[in-house]
Amino acid sequence: MHPPASEQVLVQEGGFAEWASLNDTIMGGRSRAGCRVTPEGLLLEGELVEAGGGFVSCRSPRLQPPLDLSAFSALQLDVEAEGRTLKIALGCRDGALGLTELIPGGLRWVIDVPTQTDGITRLTVPFRDLHPTFRAKPVGLPLRFDASGVTRIQVLHSKFGESGELNPGFRSGPIRLLIRSIRALP
């Protein structure tokens, strides 16, 4: 049993230094976007091309040791995202000796979250609402999210939502996404 947790800042400002972009080019797409650290946070800028792929993202390095968030119930992200619906994806220990981490686009726990057109949107991602997916397709197995072993955090704008269906908030073309901070909430 853990003592009651208070909010904990996981990443902000320069803490994004090792984050990198991952775009649909890994599957033959043509989107071009890159991540860079700014005084405000992590900025993803580029061109999102729907044909042949349809996603751009920034993701943390593989977290070793895994991040233990078992004392928390949710993540909170402050973002500026042009009114786009984002997908937040977490990797975690999978109980299969980490084998899904070895598969490109391995098992991820995801949720779709809409953002405001202007200004900062504060997104709350309750762990209980995350759904397991594999390569943007829902996984129908009885899996459990392991908050004690988070191995990766990724923020995407994708043509596909958490259900595997088309994302109604998807927009191709120029993209600018600023991730200001990520916190863990009790």
Domains of the chain: 12-185 (2.60.120.260)
Could you give the CA distance from residue 123 to residue 78 in angstroms, rounded to a whole number?
Answer: 6
pTM of the model: 0.90
The listed range with the strongest mean pLDDT (8-12, 50-54, 143-147, 176-180) is 176-180
Residue 37: pLDDT band with limits 50, 70, 90: very high
Q: And the tokens for 4? A: 């009651």
Task: Determine which helix (DSSP H) or strand (DSSP E) holds 51, and give its type and residue range.
Answer: none
Residue 49 in contact with residue 172, Cβ under 8 Å? yes
Q: Is the pLDDT of residue 123 over 90?
A: yes
Residue 108 in contact with residue 149, Cβ under 8 Å? no
